[in-house]
Structure 1
Amino acid sequence: MSTLELIWDTKTTYELWSWTNGATHYTAQLVRRIKKDVYTVRIGARGREPSDVVALKIARGAEDVEDMGREAAFYEQQLKGLQGTVVPKCYGFYTASVHGTPLGCLLLEYCSGPPERIPDLNRKVLRAAYALHAAGVLHGDLDAHHFVAMGRDLRIVDFSVAVPHQCVSGLARRAEGHGRHHVCGCQELAVLESTYHARC
């Protein structure tokens, strides 16, 4: 079990727990809101001044917390080997009950910036998508705003509608190639190949 002390403001602090994040205990302090239910926070080891900036996704209510738990499970299972390369690093999924309402928090690597500044963008988009499918994940809503810059690279974000996926498209060979490939049976990859190869 691990814990998250979430300092929301000078008057409000939440104590959350995770049963899947080993024994890592964090303190997080709110920095700013990015969009609805997504914030940046500073985190650090419990008992130390929070210093690293990460993204915090919040879910409220039993159904939304359950959905976020399903998203977190992708990070902890199928996407574990892709964290920090193709998808954001995951710092854990924490839950609590606040005034009788379930609260869920998912801590992820903070990625920002327009992907147009990434060298070889089209090739990197396709490689990232191939790696995702090779890991057994269908994103389900993979369009341009789900590719986010991280330095000179990119990450695929938001697995809220992702599902397990057995891709029959020969992904290992395709991920190493540099030209256009015919995708058989996978609509998500077919759309990406059509879109991103057309921009070359």
Structure 2
Amino acid sequence: MSTLQLIWDSQTTYQMWSWNQAYGKTHHTAQLVRRVKKDVYTVRIGLRGMDPTDVVAIKVAHGKEALEEMEREAGFYEHQLKSLQGTVVPKLYGFYTTRVNGTPLGCLLLEYCSGPPVGRERIAEMNRKALHAAYALHDAGVLHGDLLSAHHFVPMGRDIRIVDFGVAVTHQCVNGLARRAAGHGFHHVCGCPELAALEDAYAHDRR
């Protein structure tokens, strides 16, 4: 079992637990820094008893339904997406839960992704990287379910990460990576609706 002491503000601290042995028997403290978007924040984290210094992202789920969705998302990170962590998707550092006044509360600790603004001269390059990431996702057997929402592609340095797998499903797709490597390019490589829609949106965009 590992634990997380989440310091939300000067008056609120949550004691959270994880029983996943993959995270080891570690005990961390995380202190909220700022809100990034709905239910996603940055925190400073460190080993319990030491000053928290490392910045990571934290995604929070309140209530039974939200926690069940987050548990599914954690499952994708821990299994189908494990080999893609740190390259195509953020690294997962832990999935922790607790109850607050009887209400379930959960959080995912993830690699914090950020990068420089994308100028017009780099749009085509970033579109190609987004397509490469999407093909790798499908090659791993995952259909994201909402990739046309551009905010699910986030910059990481000069690369791309795909985030938010709350509505993802397992997926058997003709291997887009293999066909692209064989020289077929980005042209409806497998008839998959998600990939075909991305190709229409990104492959021919040369703005």
CA RMSD of aligned residues (A): 1.9
Distance in 2 separating the partners of 1:26 and 1:175: 43
Q: 1:178 to 1:149 in 2, by over 3 A?
A: farther
User: How far, CA to CA, are the matches of 1:133 and 1:82 in structure 2?
Assistant: 11
Shift of 1:17: 0.6
Q: Counterpart of 2:17?
A: 17
1:113 Cα deviation from its structure 2 partner:
4.3
Q: Secondary structure at the match of 1:8?
A: strand
Distance 2:65 2:18 in 1: 18
**Which residues in structure 2 correspond to 1:1-200 (within 5 Å)?**
1-20=1-20, 21-113=23-115, 116-117=118-119, 120-143=125-148, 144-174=150-180, 179-200=185-206
- Structure 2 unaligned regions, length at least 5: none
- The answer as to whether partners of 1:130 and 1:175 remain within 8 angstroms in 2 is no
* Counterpart amino acid of residue 161 in structure 2: R
* Range that drifts further, 132-141 or 165-174: 165-174
Q: Which whole-Å deviations, capped at 9, do the CAs of 1:138-159 have from their partners, x for residues lacking one?
A: 0000022111111111100111
How far 1:121 sits from its partner (Å)? Answer: 1.1
Q: Specify whether residues 165 and 2 from structure 1 end up closer, same or farther in structure 2 by C-alpha distance, changes over 3 A only.
A: same
Q: How far did 1:175 drift?
A: 5.7
Structure 1 residue matching 2:44: 3-state secondary structure: strand
Q: Matched residue of 2:136: which SS?
A: helix
Could you list the runs of 4 or more consecutive aligned residues of structure 1 that deviate by over 4 angstroms after TM superposition?
175-178
**Structure 2 Cα separation of the partners of residues 175 and 37 of structure 1:** 38
Identity %: 73
Aligned-partner Cα distance in 1 for 2:31–2:80: 29
The letter of the residue matching 1:154 is I
CA distance in 1, matches of 2:58, 2:94: 10
Seen in structure 2, the aligned counterparts of structure 1 residues 170 and 127 have a Cα distance that, compared at 3 Å, is closer
Distance 1:189 1:25, change over 3 A: same
Partner SS for 1:168: coil
How much does 1:116 deviate? 2.6
Give, in angstroms, the shift of residue 10 of structure 1. Answer: 1.7
Alpha-carbon offset, residue 177 of structure 1: 5.1
TM-score normalized by the length of structure 2? 0.89
1:141 is aligned with what amino acid?
D
